[in-house]
């Protein structure tokens, strides 16, 4: 089990942690066992990254050379697309089609940052108004970065960090979620094949509380970029504080999907389903809070419930599967507790609410797509991130109330507005306190546009030019080209 990649070599953990078996959430079968790192392995990985940063060639190579490596990686991702999509599917439970979309996405992201690093150095000349001064601002890589990813989009979330970090010339230690490490092992193999020098990318596997915590605490780490839950984000911020490390956090969401009566009914229902149930709702930007105008509310809920009941659950490897299982038995139990609590708090169940009856799905961690109507913003299911196939529906009477409900959350990751009125679309989009707002759409993102959250959805941005800036230090270089004594202080005359 040589699953750690440190200083350019595949290696086993030095401390015996017993490793971990990785399972397929479709049927609970064991996919394979992996070795998990102990603190000494994290130390070795950080040391390798530190050496590679301080002495290695990566940060001093030209942006064009680094871009060349990233483009070679993109070509390898295209070559191995089907294999990576299959690995992602069996590890997370998502369909192979969704896995393929993720691979296409990260291919585009690596290409985007290759081009951006070549064309945007981040530097500029400064006109001080003094002809005797040359002043310029330059950027440099931050240093050693710890990159920590969640289980819902293992390849994608890691690549949104990795691509800009490498493009900017940093060295990294990476850790996927302990639940879904397999695609990141494959990605690391491809990085090596693409020509990333030894020590520039180091992979450690293991539990967050042990391996992740050490990656945050380690004094030789300069920056921590984390995607995951709010509670973990808080811990990471606190653990990074003594070292005053740079911290970037992509946390959860409780995303409103606002439907006005003048929206196209069928399209809005169709997208409301995709917003809530894509990847069984295990999406940070899932449209888990549906907010519908009074006059169409009842018809909307009825049609949503009818179609939710028809979603085909199954094995992500099979072509007719529309939704796979949840990632683990533990996570399903958490979502089931949320469903029970929503019923206790008075939400009206109109679809789903439990496990499917189909005996073929009995060994997997499935839950039926669940719709709750008559929800209010005091209910736990409306306030907390459920992170499963559960959507709550609230009702509004006018635009003012729609905006107030949509913004009534401590999160602020993403939201959508559905309307046929172009002016209202812009007014509502402008008023929503969320990092991404879709108008008459849900879920798309592009490498060129920033992704991240307001409020407790995080700090910083991924993707777009800001995604690269996260991994750059800014330096001002000021040169006096005619140096001469300044005579600020007296006593300049030499004494005999
Ligand atoms: P999590 O917080 O449990 O774990 C995320 C990662 O952090 C894992 O690799 C885990 O091992 C590690 N970790 C856990 N404790 C740690 C610690 N103390 N120190 C360092 N690392 C630690 O999250 P999860 O359950 O894997 O993922 C689901 C969460 O991720 C949801 O809240 C979801 O909204 C969020 N998410 C956000 C985005 C976004 O773009 N904002 C994208 C995807 C997922």
Distance of CA 380 to the CA centre of its chain: 24
Show the beta-strand stretches assigned E in 332-462. Answer: 348-351, 370-373, 390-396, 414-418, 436-439, 458-459
8-state DSSP, 494: P
Catalytic residue among 284, 323, 394, 470: 284
Question: With a 6 A CB cut-off, is 148 part of the ligand 1 pocket?
Answer: yes
Whole-number Cα distances in Å, 30 to 90, 175, 179, 327: 10, 21, 12, 13
From the CA of 178, give the closest atom in ligand 1: 11
* Confidence band, pLDDT 50/70/90 cuts, at residue 491: confident
* Confidence band, pLDDT 50/70/90 cuts, at residue 59: very high
Decide if pLDDT at 2 tops 70. yes
From the CA of 385, give the closest atom in ligand 1: 32
Residue 127 burial (C-beta neighbours within 10 Å; 0-12, 13-18, 19+):
exposed
**Interval 439-449: pLDDT, tens:** 999 999 999 99
**Ligand 1 pocket mutation, candidates 39, 91, 145, 229, criterion most atoms within 8 A of CB:** 229
- Pick the residue whose CA is nearest to atom 21 on ligand 1: 212
* Confidence band, pLDDT 50/70/90 cuts, at residue 496: low
pLDDT at 14: 87
Decide if pLDDT at 325 tops 70. yes
**Interval 203-221: pLDDT, tens:** 999 999 999 999 999 999 9
Task: Please state whether beta strands 348-351 and 370-373 pair in parallel, antiparallel, or not at all (unpaired).
Answer: antiparallel
Decide if pLDDT at 19 tops 90. no
- The Cα 442–Cα 323 span in angstroms is 17
- Pick the residue whose CA is nearest to atom 34 on ligand 1: 252
Residue that has been written with the tokens 């529906």 in this structure: 393
Ligand 1: distance of its center to the CA of 210 in Å? 14
Residue 62 burial (C-beta neighbours within 10 Å; 0-12, 13-18, 19+):
exposed
Q: Write down how long the chain is.
A: 496
- The Cα 349–Cα 304 span in angstroms is 12
From the CA of 160, give the closest atom in ligand 1: 40
* Confidence band, pLDDT 50/70/90 cuts, at residue 376: very high
Known catalytic residue at 250: yes
Question: With a 6 A CB cut-off, is 394 part of the ligand 1 pocket?
Answer: no
Cβ atoms of 292 and 282 closer than 8 Å: no
Two tokens at 64?
């064009």
What share of residues in the chain are helix, strand, coil (percent, to 5)? Answer: 40, 20, 40
**Ligand 1 pocket mutation, candidates 17, 22, 150, 211, criterion most atoms within 8 A of CB:** 150
How many percent of the chain have pLDDT more than 90? 96
**Mean pLDDT, rounded, of the chain:** 96
Ligand 1: distance of its center to the CA of 279 in Å? 16
Decide if pLDDT at 285 tops 80. yes
- The Cα 471–Cα 440 span in angstroms is 33
Question: With a 6 A CB cut-off, is 435 part of the ligand 1 pocket?
Answer: no
Known catalytic residue at 145: no
**Interval 68-116: pLDDT, tens:** 999 999 999 999 999 999 999 999 999 999 999 999 999 999 999 999 9
């Amino acid at each position: 089990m040589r699953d750690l990649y440190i200083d350019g070599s595949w290696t086993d953990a030095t401390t015996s942690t017993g490793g971990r078996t990785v399972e397929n959430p479709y049927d609970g079968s064991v996919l394979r066992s992996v070795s998990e790192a102990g603190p000494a392995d994290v130390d070795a990985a950080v040391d390798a990254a530190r050496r590679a940063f301080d002495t290695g060639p990566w940060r001093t190579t030209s942006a064009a050379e680094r871009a060349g490596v990233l483009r070679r990686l993109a070509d390898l991702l295209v070559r191995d697309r089907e294999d990576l999509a299959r690995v992602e599917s069996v590890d997370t439970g998502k369909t192979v089609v969704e896995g393929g979309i993720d691979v296409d996405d990260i291919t585009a992201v690596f290409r985007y940052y290759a081009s951006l690093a070549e064309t945007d150095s981040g530097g500029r000349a400064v006109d001080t108004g003094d002809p005797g001064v040359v002043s310029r601002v330059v950027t440099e890589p931050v240093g050693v970065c710890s990159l920590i990813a969640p289980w819902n989009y293992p390849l994608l979330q890691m690549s949104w960090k990795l691509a800009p970090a490498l493009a900017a010339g940093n060295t990294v230690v990476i850790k996927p979620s302990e639940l879904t490490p397999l695609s990141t092992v494959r990605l690391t193999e491809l990085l090596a094949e693409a020509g990333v020098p030894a020590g520039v990318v180091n992979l450690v596997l293991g539990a967050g509380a042990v391996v992740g915590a050490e990656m945050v605490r380690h004094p030789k780490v300069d920056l921590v970029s984390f995607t995951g839950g709010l509670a973990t984000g808080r811990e990471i911020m606190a653990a990074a504080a003594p070292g005053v490390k740079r911290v970037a956090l992509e946390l959860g969401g409780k995303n409103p999907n606002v439907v006005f009566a003048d929206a196209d009914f069928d399209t809005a229902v169709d997208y409301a389903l995709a917003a809530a149930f894509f990847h069984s709702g295990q999406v940070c930007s899932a449209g888990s809070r549906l907010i519908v105008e009074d006059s169409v509310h009842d018809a909307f809920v009825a049609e949503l419930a009818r179609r939710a009941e028809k979603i085909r659950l199954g094995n992500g490897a099979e072509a007719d599967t529309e939704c796979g299982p949840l990632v683990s038995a533990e996570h399903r139990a958490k979502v089931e507790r949320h469903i029970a609590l929503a019923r206790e708090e008075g939400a009206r169940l109109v679809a789903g609410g439990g496990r499917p009856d189909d005996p073929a799905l009995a060994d997997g961690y499935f839950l039926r797509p669940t719709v709750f109507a008559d929800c209010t913003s005091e209910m736990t299911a409306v306030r907390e991130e459920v992170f499963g196939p559960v959507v709550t529906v609230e009702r509004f009477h006018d635009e003012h109330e729609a905006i107030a409900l949509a913004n009534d959350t401590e999160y602020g990751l993403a939201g959508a507005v559905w309307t046929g009125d172009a002016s209202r679309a812009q007014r509502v989009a402008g008023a929503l306190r969320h990092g991404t707002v879709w108008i008459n759409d849900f879920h798309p993102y592009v490498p060129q546009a920033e992704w991240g959250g307001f409020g407790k959805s995080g700090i910083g941005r991924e993707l777009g030019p800001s995604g690269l800036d996260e991994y750059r230090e800014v330096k001002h270089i000021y040169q006096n080209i005619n140096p001469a004594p300044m005579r600020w202080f007296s006593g300049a005359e030499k004494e005999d």
